[in-house]
Amino acid sequence: MPNKQTSESQNFLNPLIITIRELTNLISQETALLKTSRPKEMERLLPLKNQLMATYQKEMTELNSRGGLQTSGSGSAVRILKQESRNFLNVLSRHTRLVKALKKISENMIKAISDEVVRSQNQARHYGANGSQPASKSPTSISLNQTI
């Protein structure tokens, strides 16, 4: 027969374990959407993500108010919680690396476009046969690194 403390820690930690699993799955879905160039579809996951994050915060606060994992026992629930937390951190780490890489790519692309616009605008103008400079006939754009 299981002891009362193991049963209580299992019941107490179960909502946190479930929340961490759901957050792990959601972050994995977001990573898959980013890898397949569909970031716009991540918007539909936002309400659930916000709800899960609020639940996670509430459960962690409750765990801390009860004295943390040290007072939650050393049963299977604690082992499962630790394993799910490791899985979550691994998924979150991969997601963070992907987001940072995509951010860097976007920034470099914008900088390259901006540099090209600046180069094309700063080309030396030549005087025509009548001694005047020809008017620019092509539209120009404002680059991000210029002050208006």
Quick count: other Cβ atoms within 10 Å of Cβ 72? 20
With cut-offs at 50, 70 and 90, classify the pLDDT of residue 148: very low
Question: Which uninterrupted H or E stretch holds 13?
Answer: helix 4-35
* Structure tokens that stand for 131 in this block: 């001694």
Is this model's pTM higher than 0.85 or not?
no
DSSP for 23-86, written as a single string: HHHHHHHHHHHHHTT-GGGGGGGHHHHHHHHHHHHHHHHHHHHTT-GGGS-SSHHHHHHHHHHH
Lookup result for tokens 């120009």: 140
List, for residues 51-87, the tens digit of each pLDDT value.
999 999 999 999 888 888 777 766 888 899 999 999 9
Query: What whole-number distance in Å separates Cα of residue 11 and Cα of residue 118?
Result: 63
- Extents of the domains making up the chain: 8-117
